[in-house]
Amino acid sequence: MGEKGAAPDLDGKDLNIAIVVARFNEDVTKRLLRGAQDALTRHGVEEPDVYWVPGSLELPVTALALAEKGGHDAIVCLGAVIRGETFHFEVVAMQAAMGIMQVQLDTGVPITFGVLTTDDMDQALARSGPRNNKGAEAADAAVEMANLLAEIQG
Ligand code: INI
C-alpha cells in the first residue's frame, strides 16, 4: 500500500481548478486571488477559471453548482470577513465555512477554504500579502487534495 501524501504532490499540470472569490472586502480578496493564481501557476495549472460572487455567503452555492456540473478537479474559495467592520462576523464566517464543508462532503470534490477571518483590516492585509497569503495556501491545498483523491480513487 505504501504511504501517500507525506510529501504533498503539488504537480498541477493536468488539473482543472476553479476559483470562486467574494467581492465583499475586494481590496483584500483581490490580493487573495493574486496569491492563489500565482501559486497555481507555480504548480503548472493552466488558466484557472475565476468566478466572482457578492460575498462569502455566496461561495458555497457557487461551489456546489461548479462541483455538480463537473469538470473541475478542485475548487478554491476566497473571501474576507473582518470583525471590526461587521456586526454579524460570526454568522458570515461560520456559515461560509459550514457551507463549503457541506458541499465538499456532499459532492466529493475538494473545496478549499481561503476565507480570511480577522479582527481588523491590518490583519487581513498581512495575511494576503506576497509572502503570507491565505489564497496561495488554499490553492496549494486544492492541488494537493485533487492529486490525493485521484490517487485514492484510481
Ligand atoms: N461578506 C463577506 O465576504 N465578508 C464580510 O465581512 C461580510 N460582512 O461583513 O457582512 C459579508 N457580508 C455579505 C454576505 O456575504 C452576503 O454577500 C450578503 O449577506 C448577501 O447574501
Mutate-to-test residue for ligand 1 from 20, 21, 24, 28, highest number of ligand atoms within 8 A of CB: 24
Q: Is 154 helix (H, G, I), strand (E, B) or coil?
A: coil
Q: DSSP letter at 6?
A: S
Structural domains of the chain, with CATH? 17-153 (3.40.50.960)
pTM: predicted TM-score of the whole model, two decimal places: 0.96
Active-site annotation holder among 46, 47, 88, 98: 88
Mutate-to-test residue for ligand 1 from 92, 95, 123, highest number of ligand atoms within 8 A of CB: 92
Mean pLDDT of 10-36: 98
Summarised one tens digit per residue, pLDDT across range 132-152 is: 999 999 999 999 999 999 999
Q: How many CA atoms lie within 13 A of 59 on its CB side?
A: 35
Kindly tell me the burial class for residue 66, based on how many C-beta atoms sit within 10 Å of its own C-beta (0-12, 13-18, 19 or more). buried
Tell me the three cell numbers of residue 10.
Answer: 503539488
